[in-house]
Structure 1
């Protein structure tokens, strides 16, 4: 008879799970540092998370990302109960958990990107200035303002995210999710770029930016589904 694979509850299986958590944590910290390097957050604002099984690994509250190490791994279950680490999880945990409970997300990135935050104070939906909005599911909505870290903000965010993988948070910032940290981050970067594009075009005196129609967006969305290399 062959040897059975180690189950999660056995020593070998538990080691494999912990190794996976460590690997994802390393990528998560790298992604968090990238948000600072790319100017999407300042200081300790913004936060990043990733799901591993039924656990959510998340950046801790108020700790500069360049100080995080492998020993600082912080994780909660889907109810918010802390099960890994001693550092207090981000205050925006309700938003992250709401995304994981209602979507197939494996990673979430929240930033205070300046152009996106500026747009969130001006409109209730980012005008369809570029077809890449289709990569987020369509025109990007703005979730009404609520105090950070509250259930109200998480609820507002979920309504803005319906059918989307990203939204703006009024007078606050952005949140995007994806199948992994790279995709979630790329969507955040694209959203910030589109907001900067719209603000730049709108600032030209006497001119109004041309916008894409629903048909344009639908066509772009269909083409984007086949974009990139096929395995």
Structure 2
């Protein structure tokens, strides 16, 4: 079986999101190994996935192996993988999911502002794409644009998408995106959130480059 370990990892990642995403096929996970991509299939609930269910594809859209068709969002995933290769980004994994908070924010805002310093880890303010039908080339193009210089994006009235150097990091980034959406929603219930500036985010990134003691000299 091609990319057996990668298929197992895709299953585990999808299952871990099953409890926080919308019912049904609301999670799509992919991981690239060279010119091959493993993606979650169409028609199988995340908590029931088995490695053999997951299609193995080439980055140019050919299905090579798998007992189910690829998920509808595979077009988006492959476009993101191709863009990462083209621009030399250290990205091999993509996760997107329809969680309540990412859908809510993506249905209202044109951009998720950084209200917490952890937003710096994703690139700062998170772009929300214009609305377009899922599983199309148009949403794929919009996602690639929104992810330029970012490790996450929101797809309008749809949910969130996150990248990583591996599946563990992509999943962590998706969970961080979901948490930032939740924090923003709660802040808006109290009042107008205070938004961190680009200078403040730059100082956070500089601080992240140091250990627990920071840049201070003893």
* TM-score normalised to structure 2 length: 0.90
Q: CA deviation at 1:66?
A: 2.7
Residue of structure 2 in register with 1:157 after alignment: 143
The structure-2 alpha-carbon separation of the partners of 1:226 and 1:57, relative to structure 1 and needing over 3 Å to count, comes to farther
Name structure 2 gaps, 5 residues minimum.
213-218
For residue 174 of structure 2, the aligned residue among 175, 188, 199 is 188
For residue 70 of structure 1, the aligned residue among 51, 69, 78 is 51
1:43 and 2:21 equivalent?
Answer: no
For residue 208 of structure 1, the aligned residue among 187, 192, 206 is 192
Q: Helix, strand or coil: the match of 2:179?
A: helix
1:126 and 2:107 equivalent?
Answer: no
Residue of structure 1 in register with 2:93 after alignment: 107
Name structure 1 gaps, 5 residues minimum.
1-14
The structure having more radius of gyration, on CA atoms, is 1
Partners in 2 of 1:94 and 1:202 — Cα distance? 34
1:221 and 2:202 equivalent?
Answer: no
Cα pair 1:166 1:174 within 8 Å, conserved: yes
Spell out, residue by residue over 1:67-110, the C-alpha distance to the aligned partner (whole angstroms, 9 max, x if none): 22233231110111100113100111111011111113211000
Cα pair 1:111 1:173 within 8 Å, conserved: yes
Q: Helix, strand or coil: the match of 2:77?
A: helix
| Aligned structure 1 segments of 4 or more residues deviating by more than 4 angstroms | 225-228
* TM-score normalised to structure 1 length: 0.85
Cα pair 2:128 2:156 within 8 Å, conserved: yes
Q: CA deviation at 1:226?
A: 4.7
1:116 and 2:97 equivalent?
Answer: no
